Amino acid sequence: MKIKTHHKSEKFERIKTARHRTNLRSASLTISNPRFGNTNGHDNHDAAVIKAYAAQSATAALGPFAIRRRDVGVHDVQIEILYCGVCHSDLHMVRNEWHQTVYPCVPGHEIVGRVTGVGREVKKFKEGDLAGVGCMVDSCRTCSSCQQGFEQYCEHDPVQTYNSEDTHLGGVTYGGYSKSIVVDEAFVLRVSDKLNLAAVAPLLCAGITTYSPLRRWKVGKGQKVGIVGLGGLGHMAVKFARSFGAHVVLFTTSPEKGADAIRLGAHEVVVSKDQGEMNKHLNSFDFILDAVSAEHDINAYLNLLKLDGTLTLVGLPQKPLGIAAFNLIGRRRQFAGSMIGGIAETQEMLDYCAAHGIVSDVEVISIAQVNEAYERMLKGQVKYRFVIDMESL
Ligand code: NAP
Ligand code: ZN
Ligand code: ZN
Instruction: Tell me the pLDDT of the chain (393 aa) as tens digits.
Output: 333 333 333 433 443 333 333 322 233 322 222 222 233 334 445 679 999 999 999 999 999 999 999 999 999 999 999 999 999 999 999 999 999 999 999 999 999 999 999 999 999 999 999 999 999 999 999 999 999 999 999 999 999 999 999 999 999 999 999 999 999 999 999 999 999 999 999 999 999 999 999 999 999 999 999 999 999 999 999 999 999 999 999 999 999 999 999 999 999 999 999 999 999 999 999 999 999 999 999 999 999 999 999 999 999 998 899 999 999 998 999 999 999 999 999 999 999 999 999 999 999 999 999 999 999 999 999 999 999 999 999
Nearest to 32 by CA among 148, 185, 159, 146: 159
**Whole-number pLDDT of residue 141:** 98
Which residues contact ligand 1 via a Cβ below 6 A?
Answer: 87-89, 92, 205-206, 209, 229-234, 252-254, 257, 291-294, 296, 314-316, 338-340, 377, 380, 382
- Sheet containing 334-337: order of strands: 268-271, 247-252, 224-228, 285-290, 305-313, 334-337
Closest ligand to Cα 110: 2
- How far does the chain reach from its first CA to its final CA, in angstroms? 15
Task: Provide the strand spans (E) within the chain.
Answer: 48-54, 63-69, 76-85, 111-118, 130-133, 136-138, 159-160, 180-184, 189-190, 224-228, 247-252, 268-271, 285-290, 305-313, 334-337, 362-365, 385-389
Residue with the nearest Cα to atom 27 of ligand 1? 88
Q: What sign does the dihedral 30-36-37-41 (CA atoms) show?
A: negative
Q: What is the pLDDT of residues 157-215, one digit of tens each?
A: 999 999 999 999 999 999 999 999 999 999 999 999 999 999 999 999 999 999 999 99
The Cα 211–Cα 237 span in angstroms is: 7
Distance 235 CA to ligand 1 centre (A): 10
Residue 87 C-alpha to ligand 3 middle, in angstroms? 25
Atom of ligand 1 nearest to the CA of 250: 47
Nearest residue (CA) to ligand 1, atom 9: 231
Instruction: Give the residue from 223, 220, 255, 250 showing the smallest Cα distance to 238.
Output: 250
Question: Separation of 340 CA from ligand 1 center, angstroms?
Answer: 14
Our measurement of the distance from residue 378's CA atom to the centroid of its chain's CA atoms, rounded to an integer in Å, reads 17
Q: Please, which residues have CB within 8 angstroms of residue 121's CB and are 6 or more apart in sequence?
A: 74, 75
Pocket test for ligand 1, best of 25, 88, 289 (most atoms within 8 A of CB): 88
Ligand nearest to the CA of 140: 3
- Nearest ligand atom owner, CA of 146: 3
Neighbours of ion ligand 3 (CB under 5 A): 139-140, 143, 146, 154
Ligand 3: distance of its center to the CA of 141 in Å?
5
Atom 35 of ligand 1 has which residue's CA nearest to it? Answer: 315
CA-to-CA distance for 388 and 393, rounded, in angstroms?
Answer: 9
Cα distance between residue 318 and residue 23, in whole Å: 11
C-alpha angle 278-281-284 in degrees, rounded to nearest 5: 150
Q: What is the pLDDT of residue 328?
A: 95
| CA pair distance 316, 230, nearest whole angstrom | 15
pTM, two decimal places: 0.90
